[in-house]
Amino acid sequence: MERIKVKYLNIYYTITRKKEEFVDFGESPTLRELVDKLATSYRSEFRDNVMDEEGRLKPYAWILVNGMPAKDLEMKLKDGEVVVFSLPITGG
């Protein structure tokens, strides 16, 4: 079993009302498969804030995999990896 730790920041926390959770897969999922699975658990608002109608990553969805920004949704995730959903923000 592949267990992915998922963390939600800012608007994604507002949508899920969870700070983090574990999501299990039979085999290594892609980031897209993770998003699809999460979209079934939460309102469509979650998917809408991650990808557009054509399934492309939204320009503002800032997804970190083990702390590094994911470049596309097809990247494979491995057991124990941490995925963070956030907006890209800066400046204080």
Partner 1 sequence: MYGWAGIILKVDLTEGKIVKDPLKLEFGKTFLGGRGFNSKIIYDDFDPAVTDPYSPKNIVAISPGVLVGNTLSASRICVSTARSPVTGWFGDGNLGSYSGGELKWAGYDSIVFYGKSDKLVYLHIEDDNVVLKDARHLKGKTVYETDAILKQEFGDPEARVIAIGPAGENRAASAIPLELHRAAGGCGTGAVLGSKNLKAVVVRGTKGAKIARPNALKEAFKTVHKKLLSGPHYPMFSTYGTAGLLDLFNEGGMLPTYNWQDLEVEGVEQVYSTALKEKYSVKMIACLGCAVHCEHYYVVKEGPYATHGSGCEYEVTCGFGPRAGSVKLDATLYINTLLNNLGLDVVQTANWMNTLRHWWQDGLIDESDTDGLIMEWGNMDSTIEAIKRMAYRQGTFGNVLADNIFAFARHIAKKKGIPVEKLIRYIIQIKGMTQSSGDNRLMGAGAALSHATSTRGSDHLRGVNTDLWLVQKTRPEDVWGIPKEMAQKFLDLGLADPGRYENKEVYVAFMEDYCAVVDALGICKRHTAWEGQGISLEDMAEYFNAVTGLNYSWQDLRKCGTRIYNVEKAIQTRYGLRRKDDYPPIRCFEEPVPAGPQKGAILDRQKYDELLTKYYEHRGWTNEGIPTEKTLKELGLQDIATDLKKRKIIEVKK
Q: Which of 60, 40, 46 lies closest to 17, judged by CA? A: 46
Q: Does 19 bind partner 1 (CB under 8 A)?
A: yes
Q: Does 75 bind partner 1 (CB under 8 A)?
A: no
- Cβ closer to partner 1: 10 or 28? 10
Among positive and negative, which fits the CA dihedral 38, 27, 63, 13? positive
Among the residue ranges 2-10, 21-29, 30-38, the one whose residues contact partner 1 (CB under 8 A): 2-10
Q: Does 90 bind partner 1 (CB under 8 A)?
A: yes
Q: For the chain, what is the radius of gyration of the CA atoms?
A: 12
- Identify the residue among 3, 10, 21, 28 touching partner 1 (CB under 8 A): 10
* Token couple for 59: 């320009």
